Every structure is written in structure tokens, then in C-alpha cells.
Amino acid sequence: MIGFVVVSHSEPLAVAAVDLAMQMIHGDAPPVRVAAGADGGFGTDAVAIAAAIDELAEIDGVLILTDLGSAVLSSELALELRESTQPVRISGGPFVEGATAGIVRAATGGTLDEVAAEAAGALAAKQPHGEEPRGEEPPRGDAPAPDASGAGAPAPEASPTGDVVERDVTVVNPVGLHSRPASVIVKAASGWGTVPTVTDLTNGKGPAPANSMIALLALGATKDHVLRLRAEGPDAAAAVDALAALIEDGFGET
């Protein structure tokens, strides 16, 4: 599993961002360390960041999330100070949205590349009319993350069996596909040998990979929108049925 070091000039801000992200987790949460504040006040400390990275030495990789530019500088210095050797990236994505998107993706078993891309593309859900996120910087660290287009999640691979299942369902919960339902779909979509996609037939957006919270939010699906679920492979029918049941039940919000 991928872990996180949350770097902020303010410890209360970092703790609040992590708390918000954890509200979206259904099941086991990825390990998170907070390295925030300096000398009991505001600021960042490269030594503390390096120590937080080293606490996660036994996991598959670490994504560092930062709030301001100087937090990035401290994180870059921490990479020189750390003693551990696991892969580490510094995300260029937004602090709060990136933390939520990245932590949700990590909880479903995403790789460091996938988690970093999800965090980097986290502003996609806030862009009107499908605009691309603006003003982002590429992740820093041991290696660049892959392009975050499509909200950072890979499209499903073609099925060698040719099995394709599609089903149209209507959003019934009053608020539509907001953050909590999107995170529920991500969790449900992670248990299959295929990655289902979701297309909003009402507004024409999609397809979005069902294992990407940001891609799902970017659909802008609200009450009474019709969603097309699609999956390929031997698990296609079961995966589509599972997602359809969640949507038709209103995610427990009706």
C-alpha cells in the first residue's frame, strides 16, 4: 500500500485535511504521517519531514502532499536527509483535494503512479464545462508521475474473452454523485478483475474509470441523470451489477 506524508505550515490545517480524507475511506486506510508546523508555530521542518518519510520505510511508496511553495522546498530537502530508500514523490496537486483523492485511491490498492496521478489531477472535478485543471505543477521526487489526463486513472484494458456488459441506471439520491457516493463506487470497483467505466448519458460526460474518485466527480452527475455502466472481462456482469445496486439504492441517502 502507498503511504502519505502531509506537509503544511499549520498543524491544525494538516490534521483537518487528513480527517476530511479519512471520512471517504471505506475499509482499511493507508498510513498517513503529518509533518506540520515548525518549533510549535507556523512553518515547515525538513528534518521532521524526513523522519516522517522514514517512519513509512516498509511500505511500497510514499506521496508527499504540500500546502505552499516553501513546503515543497522543505520536502525536497527532506529527500536528501531521509535514510529510507522506498520510492517517494512530491505531489504538485492541490492540498485538500489531492489528499482526499490520493488517499481514497491508495485505500483501493493503487500504485504510486496511480495515486500520484490521482492527486495531481484532483482539480478536475472543480472545472466548469470539463475544462482542464490550470496552474498545476508536475509531481517532484524520485521520478515524475504519469500524465494526469483522464483524472489520473487508467482506462480498462480490452478483455481477452470479449465479454462486454452495459447497463443504464438513474441517479436517485438527492445530491447526486458527490464525494461520499463517489468514494463508495471507487471502493466497490476495486474488487474486480476489470475496471468498469461510468458515462453520464444526460450531460454527455465520460466515460470515467470507476476507480477514480476525481473522474467520477468530474461527471457532474446529479439527481435523475442516467448513467451507463460498462465493463469487460469475466467479472464484467458482477462488477456492473454491484455498481448498479449502489446507484439504484441511492447510496443509502434516499
Q: Hey, which residues are catalytic here?
A: 178
73 membership: H or E segment, kind and range: helix 69-81
CA distance 13 to 163: 47
- Whose grid coordinates read 439504492? 249
**Among 228, 229, 227, 219, which residue's Cα sits nearest to residue 172?**
227
Reading the block at residue 191, the C-alpha cell is 474488487
Phi, psi of 129 (to 5 degrees): 55, 30
Sheet with 32-36, edge to edge strand ranges: 32-36, 2-8, 61-66, 88-90, 140-141
Q: Which residues lie below 8 Å from residue 89, measured CB to CB, with a gap of 6+?
A: 61, 62, 63, 64, 112, 116, 139, 140, 141, 142, 143, 145
In our burial notation (b when 16+ CB lie closer than 10 A, e otherwise), range 156-186 reads: beebeeeeebebebebebeebbbbebbbbbb
Distance (Å, whole) CA 182 – CA 112 = 21
